[in-house]
Amino acid sequence: MTESENNIQRIRELRIQRRAVILAHNYQSPAIQDIADYMGDSLELSRRAAATDAEVIVFCGVHFMAETAAILNPGKTVLLPHPNAGCPMADMITASDMITIRQKHPGIPIVTYVNSSAAVKAESTVCCTSANSVDVVHSFRDSRTVYMAPDRNLALYTARHTDKEVLYWHGYCPIHHSLTAKDVLAKKEEYPEALFIAHPECRPEVIELADEVRSTSGMLRFVKESSRDSFIVGTERGILYPMQKQNPDKKFYPASRKMICPDMKKTTLPHVLRALETLQPRIIVPEETRQRALVAVERMLSIGR
């Protein structure tokens, strides 16, 4: 038996002993995706975390995702296998920035992308994901203006689908923001028969070239249901693994080979095994922050996909 096989067997044993559930984002490496109980995007995994009866949640993703699970599960042990798996976009805004935004725009709802820290969520009116940002903005029927943070590209995408004024912070996902219109046009020329699917975190000029704009889980559903058989995929390349696995007869091409998130790739099987063995690193959100952030997260979860 190889070391990898040994790790997988031990992880399965400990998962049962610890009454644990393993959640993995669609951008995780194939080895991590294969051991997960559930996979999904931020919204799907938030819902799984809220509904689980497991005593231990092993979150194979990045820090803000594990924090969200901790916000929703105060009595449970939430583990982030790699302690340094972070999110550059989440680091582009602070709770102090949010307080300043509220002071500058009194009375305006603040819609905060779930890709943010617990402290930032605590200063928000409601959270959203790339899958439900438009629905969340539309939920404020009496507000003509909303403020979105921290992702300007998601805000600009959302603004295209609402008649509300959308103000926004200046953050962005370095991975999605790196994809250019030139990259996409080159891929379209190389694979003219393929549909181009873009993530809402992409630049506006990239969105303009898209045949479909979907969250990661939305992409997975779309390609499965589509009658087309080839796709250019404009998001982190980790999603190509479940796409190909679920659709072996279809072809998938990364919009750019540079779209790899190093933080999403930090988690390995040994990290998961060590987390289950030691119940560390544990993610704990201070109770006052957790309670305030919970209001924004629960509002998000109550709004339709």
Question: Is the same domain home to 73 and 103?
Answer: no
| Residue 259 placed within a domain | no
pLDDT digits (tens, 9 = 90+) for 36-62: 999 988 778 878 888 889 999 999 999
Question: Is the same domain home to 98 and 158?
Answer: yes
Cβ–Cβ < 8 Å for 74, 284: no
Query: Strand order in 38-40's β-sheet?
Result: 38-40, 20-25, 56-60, 77-79
Question: Is the same domain home to 42 and 81?
Answer: yes
State the pLDDT at residue 261: 98
CA atoms within 13 A on the CB side of 114: 30
State the pLDDT at residue 107: 95
| Residue 62 placed within a domain | yes
Question: Is the same domain home to 168 and 295?
Answer: yes
The CATH code of the domain that includes 163 is 3.40.50.10800
Tell me which residue of 277, 289, 194, 283 sits closest to 233, measured CA to CA. 194
Question: Is the same domain home to 155 and 22?
Answer: no
Query: How close are the terminal C-alpha atoms of the chain, in Å?
Result: 43
The CA R_g of the chain, rounded to the nearest whole Å, is 19
Cβ–Cβ < 8 Å for 48, 23: yes
C-alpha torsion 236→153→91→287, nearest 10 = -100
Structural domain count, the chain: 3
State the pLDDT at residue 48: 87
Cβ–Cβ < 8 Å for 252, 244: yes
Residue-range definition of the domain harbouring residue 123:
90-172+291-302
Task: Respond yes or no on whether the N-terminal peptide bond of residue 281 is cis (omega within 30° of 0).
Answer: yes
Per-residue 3-state assignment (H helix, E strand, C coil) for 100-125: HHHHHCCCCCEEEECCCCHHHHHCCC
| Residue 145 placed within a domain | yes
CA distances from 208 to 9, 80, 108, 252 (A): 46, 36, 29, 20
State the pLDDT at residue 305: 52
Question: Is the same domain home to 64 and 209?
Answer: no
DSSP 8-state symbol, 151: B
Question: Is the same domain home to 58 and 207?
Answer: no
Question: Is the same domain home to 165 and 195?
Answer: no
Question: Is the same domain home to 227 and 274?
Answer: no
How buried is 260 (Cβ within 10 angstroms: 0-12 exposed, 13-18 middle, 19+ buried)?
A: middle
Question: Is the same domain home to 150 and 96?
Answer: yes
Phi (first) and psi of residue 230, to 5 degrees: -145, 140
Residue partners of 205: CB distance under 8 A and separation at least 6? 180, 181
Task: Respond yes or no on whether the N-terminal peptide bond of residue 242 is cis (omega within 30° of 0).
Answer: no
State the CB neighbour count (10 A cutoff) for residue 285: 23
| Residue 274 placed within a domain | yes
- What is the rounded CA–CA span in Å between residue 39 and residue 45? 7
- What is the rounded CA–CA span in Å between residue 148 and residue 305? 18
Pull the structure tokens for residue 183. 């990259």
Question: Is the same domain home to 77 and 11?
Answer: yes
| Residue 143 placed within a domain | yes
State the pLDDT at residue 163: 96
Which residues of the chain have a pLDDT value below 70?
A: 304-305
State the CB neighbour count (10 A cutoff) for residue 20: 23
Pull the structure tokens for residue 15. 């998962």
Question: Is the same domain home to 104 and 74?
Answer: no
Pull the structure tokens for residue 24. 């993995």
